[in-house]
Structure 1
Amino acid sequence: MNDSEEKRRSRHWMNKEFVVEESDKSERKVICFIKAPATALDSLVCKVVNDRSSLVVDDSEELVSNVISVECSDDEKTIPFPISIAIPFTSCFRGNYRETMVKVTDVSFQSKYLTPISLEGYQGNHKETFAEVKVYQLGVFSVLSCLKRETFTVPKVGLSKKLSVDSRISFYYPPETFSSPAPMQLKVQPIEPSLVTTLKARHDMYHSVVSTSALVYVQHLSAQPFNNSVTITLPCPPNPEKKRQGEETEQVRAISATVRKAAAAYHPRKYQNIGTSKKFSIFQLLTGHRNKEEWMVFDDIIIQNARNGLVSFQLNEHLESFVVVRLSFLLENSYLLLFAQALEEAVCSTMSNVILYRKRENPYKIIVLLSASKELSWELQNLREEGYSGPPEPTQQFPLREGEQVHFQFRGNIFASENGKDFGKSYRLIFHSQRKPRLELQIKEVDEFGNHSSPHYKGTVVFYKITREMTTKEWKQPLPHGDYQHQSPLCKLALTLPKHQKLINRPQSTRRIFSDSSEALWDNLLYWLAEELAEDNTSLLALCLPVRRSVLQLVRLKCPDNLTHQIYELLCCWKKTLPRSADKEQLLSRYLQKSGRRDLSEELRFKCQNKVFT
């Protein structure tokens, strides 16, 4: 390429589509669009690095896109920044408290947040939601749903500020609060009433907690001291369903006398009078420090109860984070601190389940995925529509934070593989509340002669939780090591496989058997018989056929929702076990009579004698 052509291409900006081929599919998926000079685009390389997603999310952030690495393949090439990158994403609406941001992380794990210049639904001919940003560096890009950051400056003359995320939350800075203009950044984490109810149900010591305000994070960028007190107003309403929840709580507390005595020990007299203390509330202000990861109770702060569930108080010092707790009776500070820690942890966690389902037509093909507990029913319905079903049933629910990993390995007489070749590895799923981590695997028995006293092969899937703090901070993430001896399992799932029907090759008999009916005609006869039996909801065991229990299990897995097909498959399996010289008509008639279906036995004999096989 001559110099004039190079200059022309360097001035010509293009919007290039970067795609990746999905595994086991012929489709090509768009991972991003980059708008840059043509010469620069030739040197850019884009890759999907979702296995590193644990390294790009923090608490209160939710990943809503692929994690994309953009690099320059030519070290001598100079990229004319800024360039535009548009990344497709899918995000659920999370209310006015959250916003969509693009996070770019460099090789040393330093991150910057970029506000998208557009959230268009089209890029070229592709209809999808894209977050487009102008960037001045390359690195690892991800689209996140974050708590909305509100920035304002407090002038010397003071300021009365209502937050845009929730106009009920306001800050009043009197004149001369700061000696010079002071920039502020705030984020508000709403707390669902159901979260407080869940904590109270788990720990009776929190019974006096009625409700809480939102959790407010404040960054005082100038770090100037307060010259005057700042008035803060925020909602902390009485529980609108207090009566109903009180009755439910009484029922829960009535289950165990031991729990009642333990709760009374925290505050005996107040605990007994809770039914009559509905006319007043007690408020406590709790503050947290991000670096120290601990909470404090401010006993000397007077919190006033205003109308419409609003409370207000004054501060004369900066607090990094705070929350107001409404109580029905006094609670010791130690229990308040435990409640604040549990509340902050619960806000950043999602109750989740592990689902392990197998393919109906092929029990050797399974799918493992993580699902939020509130979406479990919907996820199970989707899996059934895709042709998957249990057993086993989903695990008990457990908390997971964004970016935490669940590693698992197969033990016992069953192991698994992603590609059908490499068996016996450990596997991982990375949890993201707005994405659906899933893994399709093939399973098989380790020893076909194992579990000889059981009709099926047995194994166990053991799951372990790997927190973000335990994750190695390296861009080249190692594969799961499989050494979890010093770690307690998160949960376990029992897994079974039906045993194979062993086919024994015997020499063909020299005796020739003549028959007027072909195999196809017999199949028609067996299907007619299956339909007749299914009409009366005849169970498989009631047929009294001499077949192994593993055959019954395989038939149920193969046709879980169709009794006619189950009976037909069972009859076919029984017929295959018979020698060619066997009198199938006589044997089948005998089993039908033994099952109490003499009518079908006679009709079967009639069809065979008159050669009526349709």
Structure 2
Amino acid sequence: HTNVHTLFRESILLLTGETGEPCRASLTLTCDLADALSFAVVTGSEELVSRVLRVRVRDGTCCPFPVAVAVPFRARYRGNYRDVAVKVVDGQGRTSYVRPSYTEEMCRGQKGSFAEVRVYTLGLFAVVSCLRRENYTVPRRGLSLRLSADPRVCLHYLPGCFTSSVVLQPVDGSLLASLKSRRDGYHAVLSTSPLLHITHPSSQNLRRPLTVTLPCPPNPEKRRGAGQGGEQAQLTRPICGDASRSTPTLQKVSELLVLLGWKDDKWNILDKVTLRNLQNGLVSFELSENIERLFVVRLLSPVSPSRLTALAEEVEERVRCTAVNIVLQQAQADPHTALVAVLPSRDLPRAMSELRAQGYCGPAEPSLEIAMSEGEQLLVSFSGNITLTGGGGVCERITFHSQRKNHLRLHLTEVDPFGNYSSPHYKGTALFYKVAVGRVEWREGQATPSCCVSLKDLVCKLSVTLPKVHVHIPMTTTCPRPGCLSDSALLWLSEELSEEDVSQLVLCFRLRRGSVQLARHQAPGGPASWAYHVLALWRRALPAGPHSAKTASLARCLAKSGRPDLARELLLRQTATGESPVDSDK
């Protein structure tokens, strides 16, 4: 699907002139990808299911209208509650929704789905999945309407005449279970109905009551008990009474139904409305006033009104969010190439298996669950000894869309090649900051936050490591500078020293631990190679002076480290060269 736009780029634009005959538009129009603007394309409960295309007229050309545009898309989750539409945003920012016709095309062995529309304006084109809106007109004789999204939802109007629309937002059971696990005050909530959005004419009040029927499942424990033992198996609980009683009295638990409505820009409990419990978990009630949103809650025990309104607010907010996990994986062939993936929690095991099959590996545990809304962005930056290639505080961004792959490929590098000397890896931390849609602006051709991110926007930290590269430095045999120990002497000495001797010499040399660790990584040949690198490192750190003084200093260090035999041999070799050793009597 990533390449489907490239494959079909030649054939997604057609012109239809006055004769109605289509012709290629490649010489008149230009089509470019504008995925960086995807955050501005979706609003509310919409979900992006295609890439964002920008269609423009070439300079100096004239385009006859209408233009037929076919946008490739792929919707992962489709059901009765959602429809697919093409969203068009023109150059002045005006938005329109066009119902498309669907086509299937084959090109270069790949099959793609297209949403085709005919338009009279150009700009940004994207395919979005939005909640199904049903428009209807109530005739004078009245209307009994069952929604196509959920036939259990019924609206019964008495005789009248006006035009209205309704949108149904389902509430998943896992969402309610998540809220109950985080809030102790919601434990008495058994189930809820879908969120019902009704749009009535604002200038016309309901002259006669409107009957609404919504599904609100009963207590599952009570339903199972009734199936096993009839009325005797109904859920019961003891009533708190006098402690002197030896046998508690059992009372049947009666479920409570509460109706909440959106009035005066807030959720209110409609306690004056009578709710009737119907069969098969249906709830019916009558309304005598215009209510924009309706929500039914089934309770096991009474709950305070403030908690119920808070529940409605949280449900309304969370139905537009998706629980995701952030994963940072590195390519096995090149650990400096990393992939950041924002994966829906429900698809996490399958998505992790796909990443491993593509040659990525990383930490066993992803991040904790994070709630992300459509169009929100994640800013990715690094701290520690690892940064992005280019450095300078550069950060990358991911725009989240629940029905698209949210992947970001990065190239990492170390900040200090001499850092993390006590570890075989370079270490760093990936920091993820969440930026809401309202805080993102389009500046100088890119999307940037309207204000600086802060620590409160930090939602996740993931550790990352890079292997240290063992650079082999060949042992040079060039002539040393005047006053320096020769390479041949250091080579002879490195062959005589053991690994323990070198460790003792390091203490006598007083070298930095980081430098010694780097010398060990640069000498993969064994103890002799490491000893040579340590001796060469010590020689470079010596101040300028006579050759005999440096030989005597090295002899003293050998004697202190437990190898006086090598110290005597070194002094004899230096005497044989014709120079008198300094402090040789020591």
Q: TM-score, normalised by structure 1?
A: 0.70
Aligned partner of 1:411 in structure 2 is 383
Percent identity of the aligned residues? 38
Aligned residue number for residue 227 of structure 1: 207
Which of 356, 367, 377 is residue 328 of structure 2 equivalent to? 356
- 2:70 pairs with 86, 89, 97, which one? 86
Q: Is 1:127–2:102 an aligned residue pair?
A: no
* Equivalent residues of 1:357, 1:392 under 8 A apart: no
Structure 2 CA distance, aligned partners of 1:277 and 1:121? 62
Give the whole-Å Cα distance in 2 for the aligned partners of 1:369 and 1:244: 42
Q: Measure how far apart 1:574 and its partner are.
A: 9.8
Cα offset for 1:218? 1.4
Return closer, same or farther for 1:32/1:182 CA change in 2, 3 Å cut-off: farther
Question: How far apart are residue 342 of structure 1 and its match?
Answer: 0.9
Q: What is the rounded CA distance, in whole Å, between the counterparts of 1:441 and 1:577 in structure 2? A: 36
Equivalent of 1:341 in 299, 313, 317: 313
1: distance between equivalents of 2:158 and 2:458? 55
- Residues 440 and 449, structure 2, Cα contact 8 Å, conserved in 1: no
Matches of 2:421 and 2:71, distance apart in 1: 54
Q: CA deviation at 1:120?
A: 1.1
Partner Cα distance (1:454, 1:422) in 2: 23
In the aligned structure 1, how far is the partner of 2:42 from the partner of 2:415? Answer: 38
1:109 aligns with 2:89: no
Q: Residues 473-525 of structure 1, C-alpha deviation per residue, up to 9 Å, x if partnerless?
A: 669433579943464311111222222224232036999xxxxxxxxxxxxxx
Aligned positions of 1:236-385 closer than 5 A:
236-240=216-220, 279-288=253-262, 292=265, 294-385=266-357
Shift of 1:110: 2.4
- SS state of the match for residue 37, structure 2? helix
> Which structure 2 residues correspond to residues 163-202 of structure 1 after superposition, within 5 A?
163-175=147-159, 178=160, 181-202=161-182
Q: Which residue pairs with 2:187 in the alignment?
A: 207
3-state SS of paired residue (2:220):
coil
Q: Aligned with 2:176: secondary structure?
A: helix
Q: 1:136 is matched with which residue? A: 120
How far 1:392 sits from its partner (Å)?
6.4
1:454 aligns with 2:423: yes
Matches within 5 A, 1:485-524: 485=454, 487-507=456-476
Measured in 2, the distance between the counterparts of 1:31 and 1:404 equals 32
Alpha-carbon deviation of 1:298? 0.9
How many residue pairs get matched?
A: 467
Say which of 54, 67, 72 aligns to 2:52. Answer: 67
Please tell me whether residue 96 in structure 1 is matched to residue 48 in structure 2: no
The corresponding residue for 2:33 is: 48
Report the residue type matching 2:260 in the other structure.
L
Matched residue SS, 1:227: coil
2:436 matched residue in structure 1: 467
CA contact (8 A) 1:20 1:31 kept: no
8 Å Cα contact 2:4-2:72 kept in structure 1 = no
Partners in 1 of 2:432 and 2:117 — Cα distance? 39
Q: C-alpha separation between the residues in 2 aligned to 1:156 and 1:21? A: 51
SS at match of 1:484: coil
Q: Deviations over 1:10-42 (max 9, x none)?
A: xxxxxxxxx9899xxxx7564961120558652
Tell me: CA distance 1:242–1:54, structure 2 relative to 1, closer, same or farther (3 Å). Answer: farther
| Kept after mapping to 1: 8 A contact 2:382/2:428 | yes
2:15 alignment partner in structure 1: 36
> How big is the shift at 1:71?
1.2
Q: CA deviation at 1:73?
A: 2.2
Q: CA, structure 1 residues 472+210, in 2 after alignment: closer, same or farther (shift >3 Å)?
A: same
Q: Determine the structure 1 residue equivalent to 2:502.
A: none
SS at match of 1:65: coil
Shift of 1:337: 0.7
- Uncovered stretches (5+) of structure 1, i.e. residues with no partner: 1-18, 246-267, 512-543, 545-572, 583-614
- 489-498 or 400-409: bigger deviation: 489-498
Distance change >3 Å, CA 31–CA 381, structure 1 → 2: farther
Distance 1:36 1:217, change over 3 A: same
Name the aligned partner's letter for residue 285 of structure 1.
Answer: L
The CA RMSD over aligned residues, in Å, is 3.5
Check whether the contact 1:20–1:30 (CA below 8 A) recurs between aligned residues. Answer: no
In structure 2, how many angstroms separate the alpha carbons of the residues matched to 1:228 and 1:86? 46
By how many angstroms is 1:359 displaced?
A: 1.2
Indicate the residue corresponding to 2:548 in structure 1. none
What amino acid does structure 2 have at the position aligned with 1:207? H
CA contact (8 A) 1:356 1:392 kept: no
2:105 aligned partner, one-letter code? Y
Give the match's secondary structure for 1:122. strand
Which of the two has higher C-alpha Rg? 2
Question: Aligned partners of 1:577 and 1:147: how far apart in 2?
Answer: 68
Distance in 2, Cα, partners of 1:150 & 1:172: 15
Whether contact under 8 Å (1:281, 1:327) holds in the other structure is yes
Q: Say yes or no: does 1:149 pair with 2:133.
A: yes
Cα shift readout 1:440-478 (whole Å, capped 9, x = no counterpart): 111111011122233322211111000111111669433
Flag the 1:304–1:174 CA change in 2: closer, same or farther, 3 A: same
The 2-side partners of 1:123 and 1:428 are apart by 33
User: Aligned partner of 1:182: which letter?
Assistant: F
User: Post-superposition shift, 1:576?
Assistant: 4.3
Query: Structure 2 counterpart of 1:57, which letter?
Result: V
Q: How does the TM-score come out when normalised to structure 2?
A: 0.73
Report the Cα distance in structure 1 between the residues aligned to 2:252 and 2:91, rounded to whole angstroms. 57
SS state at 1:197 partner: helix
Post-superposition offset of 1:190: 1.0
The answer for unaligned runs of 5 or more in structure 2 is 17-22, 226-238, 242-248, 479-486, 489-498, 500-521, 532-586
1:333/1:480 Cα in 2 relative to 1: closer, same or farther (>3 Å)? closer
